């Protein structure tokens, strides 16, 4: 598994993921728990969709 997420992308994913999970816990829609996937990809620095499409935000 290769890193394919840049630092700015990690921070953005983490912030949006935390906001979505907080919204879901506060009574928002159930689909807002998708934020957990954003938090996980930020933690692992790997996005499976980027790997499928052979792209990423990390410059090499």
Task: Give tens-digit pLDDT for 17-60.
Answer: 999 999 999 999 999 999 999 999 999 999 999 999 999 998 87
The candidate with the shortest Cα–Cα distance to 9, out of 43, 60, 35, 52, is 43
- Residue 1: pLDDT band (50, 70, 90) is confident
* Phi, psi dihedrals of residue 42, rounded to the nearest 5°: -70, -40
Do residues 59 and 6 touch, judged by C-beta distance below 8 A?
A: yes
Write down the domain spans for the chain.
7-52
- Residue 24 is predicted with a pLDDT of 97
Q: Is 46 helix (H, G, I), strand (E, B) or coil?
A: coil
State the greatest distance between any 2 C-alpha atoms of the chain, in Å, as a whole number. Answer: 42
- Residue 60 is predicted with a pLDDT of 75
Q: What average pLDDT does the segment 5-19 reach?
A: 97
Do residues 45 and 27 touch, judged by C-beta distance below 8 A?
A: no
């Amino acid at each position: 598994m290769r890193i394919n997420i840049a630092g700015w992308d990690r921070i953005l994913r983490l912030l949006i993921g935390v906001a979505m999970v907080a919204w879901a816990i506060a009574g928002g829609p159930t689909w807002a728990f998708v934020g957990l996937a954003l938090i996980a990809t930020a933690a692992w620095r790997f996005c499976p969709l980027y790997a499928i499409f052979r792209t990423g935000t990390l410059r090499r």
